[in-house]
Homo-oligomer: A and B are copies of this chain.
Amino acid sequence: MTERVQDLDEAELLTRIFAVLGSASAASTLLGPGDDSAIVAAADGRFTISTDLLVEGHHFRRDWSSGYDIGWRAAMQNMADAAAMGARPTALTVGLVLPADTEVAFVQELARGFVDAGGPWALDVVGGDLVAGPCLMVAVTVTGDLGAAPAVLRSGARPGDVLALAGRCGWSAAGLAVLGSGRLDETVTRTHPQVRAVIEAFRRPVAAIAEGVAARPHAHAMMDVSDGLVRDAARIAAASGVSIELREPEIALARDAELLGAVAEFLGDPGLVRAWLLGGGEDHAMLAAFPADAVPAGFAPVGAVKARAGQAPAVTVAGAEPHVRGWDHFRR
């Protein structure tokens, strides 16, 4: 018989989850789960903190993502919010709302996704909460360590800076488009490695966390791209009081464009490539402004920061005003 969360009490369910999480062992964990609060080290006397929510039917579908994928993505996108400040992620807390008929194995897989996504950062899930509810929801909070250096804000971009991107661009959006197309069958992922790559990028994004942390000494401004290149560049422009001229994305991001081109061809619409590059979010690339002579390895120049002039648009693409919209959670 399939074991479901309604078959266990809370203590038993926690035991199953901790069997996956293992004991808290990260150097930054001073006290792990089990008391009223956890205790986390903050050697330089402060810490970064950020919270994300993922809701079934809005951020993920269980027929498109496994428990492992959902845990992985929740951890990854939250850690990206620490890295986007230049901070090394130090701890996670996780709140799970679980329908009573959720399989215990699914919850354990979700925990395993958290463990694996956080693995390279040697951080623990130091606390959380489990409650019953009408649909699956994941609430994640991440803390980060700035290593005694100033944080990298969105507001520091200066005219003359190079805007550059580290990580993937458009992959997750392309993967979502393939899943939504209904054109996926068992053979496609064997015959089309690019299609397989973008589906995996949607399910288990690999945020540019190491690049964000490494950029801290050099970047004037940074954020992670969660709502698309144009929309997030506009946020840096607004926060910094500058304009941003994006280069033609199919040239600036030629390697992404090549891979996305194969996926667009599979879907029969070459115009998708540009839309994915400019509007696709959730790859959690790092978008940062650097002095022109200090763009670190791993960052590809995608544009230039200019002084804001009168009625000029905040963001242009190859000299023209772009026509893409990002995601909005509420507006219908």
| From B44, B45, B95, contact of A51 by CB (8 A) | B95
- Whole-angstrom CA separation of A257 from B47 in the bound complex: 44
- List B contacts of A96 (CB < 8 A): 53
How far does the Cβ of A141 sit from chain B's closest Cβ, in whole Å?
4
What residues on B are CB-neighbors of A13 within 8 Å?
Answer: 330
Q: Does A21 contact B (CB under 8 A)?
A: no
- A153 near B31: Cβ-Cβ < 8 Å: yes
Are B48 and A38 touching (Cβ within 8 A)? yes
Kindly list chain B residues whose C-beta atoms are within 8 Å of the C-beta of A8: 330-331
- Selecting from A124-132, A260-268, A313-321, the interface stretch reads A124-132
Contact A47 B39, beta carbon cutoff 8 Å: yes
A211 contacts chain B at the CB level, 8 A cutoff: no
Complex copy number for this chain = 2
B residues in contact with A95, CB < 8 Å: 51-53, 139
Question: Which chain B residues border A132 with CB–CB below 8 Å?
Answer: 55, 58, 329-330
Please indicate the chain B residues that have their CB under 8 angstroms from the CB of A141 in the complex: 49, 51, 93, 141
Bound-complex Cα distance A155 to B87 (A):
33
Interface size class of A (residues with CB under 8 A): 35 or more
A154 / chain B contacts, CB cutoff of 8 Å: 34-36
Nearest B residue to A4, CB-CB = B330
Cβ–Cβ < 8 Å partners of A130 in chain B: 329-330
A222 to chain B, nearest CB (A): 8
Answer whether residue A100 sits at the interface, using C-beta atoms and an 8 A cutoff.
yes
Q: A10-B328, A51-B128, A129-B53 are in contact. Are A36 and B84 (CB under 8 A)?
A: yes
Besides A31-B153, A35-B84, A40-B47, 16 more A-B contacts (Cβ < 8 Å) are A6-B330, A8-B331, A10-B330, A35-B155, A36-B223, A37-B49, A37-B81, A37-B82, A39-B151, A49-B143, A53-B95, A53-B139, A54-B131, A55-B134, A97-B137, A130-B329
